[in-house]
Amino acid sequence: MNSRGFAIFAVFMVQLLYGLNYTIAKGVMNENYIKPFGFVLLRVAGATILFWLMSLFLPKQKVDKKDYFKFFIAAIFGVVINMLFFFKGLEYTSPIHASSIMIIVPIIILVLSSIMLKEKVTNLKILGVILGVIGALILTIYGKSARPGDNVPLGNLLILLNAISYSIYVILIKKLTAKYHPFTFIKWLFLFGLIILIPFGYNELDAVEWQSFKPYTTFSVLFVIIGATFGTYLFNPIALNKLKASTVGIFIYLQPVIAGLFALAMGVDFIDAVKIIAMLVIFLGVYLVSKKSKKST
């Protein structure tokens, strides 16, 4: 397989792993094996160990002392707030809702870039932002979940806040990712994230009754740590290194499709007119935001 072919495989794997993660992680939390904050701490601790072990076999890169603080701030938005809000939101909402809301990340990045980086926004992109917001509101106000104990509006709000936090993180790391090798950046990002997360998740992780785990529970936890965390952060830099950002961005459309099909197959979610309409409106909004202007700059 050539390098471009492998990069396409890598970006597909990222969306596949994320897509499956919605149902798998929600199952562990809703069965009360691990509560959300404890699960996040376990997820980040496991991935941090894997990243630092892998870094032993890679070339060493010196980090400027002034950049450690930037890593720390990036960890707050990219690991701590992002993951805490995502898992807590996923506990309350459905996989289809969560995955649909998460694809509006390009829209949020556009809005934040126009504010923080003073990037120019076209009328077409403004329309895309409006459509994305309308789609998310339709899901939040009218969407239903297959699980009686879910609180869809609260869950969707937390997923949206997670998406905003992740978008801020993407903007913050723009210069850092150009300066450092992906693994140099990721290992420090996760180490700082782990240290910050300990007070939030320690009690919930300490309360886990490991002996109650069934084989599928153990598989699910390992999947979240190795697949949906270590694997996705491993494949993403490979994809971004060989493919255009716009090409990688197109693959985000796969995430709610994979998440939806897997959730339906597992019987933990359902599809209805409201979800279909909301997803189509969000898809159209993201498409307009991602569409390049025909005029050359």
Spans of all domains in the chain: 3-290
- With b meaning 16 or more CB within 10 Å and e meaning fewer, what string describes 44-66? bbbbbebbeeebeeeeeeebeee
Q: How far is CA 264 from CA 10, 93, 138, in A?
A: 25, 15, 20
pLDDT of residue 246: 64
Distance CA 260, CA 271 (A): 8
pLDDT digit string, tens, across residues 53-76: 999 988 889 999 999 999 999 999
When pLDDT is cut at 50, 70 and 90, the band that residue 224 belongs to is very high
Q: Token pair for residue 157?
A: 């709000």
Alpha-carbon torsion (232, 237, 240, 243), positive or negative: negative
Residues contacting residue 161 through CB under 8 Å, at least 6 positions apart: 81, 85, 89
pLDDT digit string, tens, across residues 7-34: 889 989 999 999 999 999 999 999 999 9
Q: Is the model's pLDDT at 35 over the cut of 70?
A: yes
Tell me if 92 sits within 8 A of 26, measured CB to CB: no
When pLDDT is cut at 50, 70 and 90, the band that residue 122 belongs to is confident
Q: Which is higher by pLDDT, 175 or 53?
A: 53
What mean pLDDT value characterizes the chain? 89
- H/E element holding 89? helix 82-92
DSSP for residue 275? H
Q: For the purposes of burial, counting CB atoms within 10 Å of the CB of 250, is it exposed (0-12), middle (13-18) or buried (19 or more)?
A: middle
When pLDDT is cut at 50, 70 and 90, the band that residue 293 belongs to is low
In the three-class reduction of DSSP (H, G, I as helix; E, B as strand; rest coil), residue 159 is classed as helix
Does this model's pTM top 0.95?
no
Q: For the purposes of burial, counting CB atoms within 10 Å of the CB of 200, is it exposed (0-12), middle (13-18) or buried (19 or more)?
A: middle
Tell me if 146 sits within 8 A of 270, measured CB to CB: yes
CA contacts within 13 A on the Cβ side of 33: 21
Q: How far is CA 224 from CA 21, 23, 29, 47, 82, in A?
A: 7, 11, 12, 9, 15
Nearest to 102 by CA among 13, 221, 15, 222: 15
pLDDT of residue 296: 42
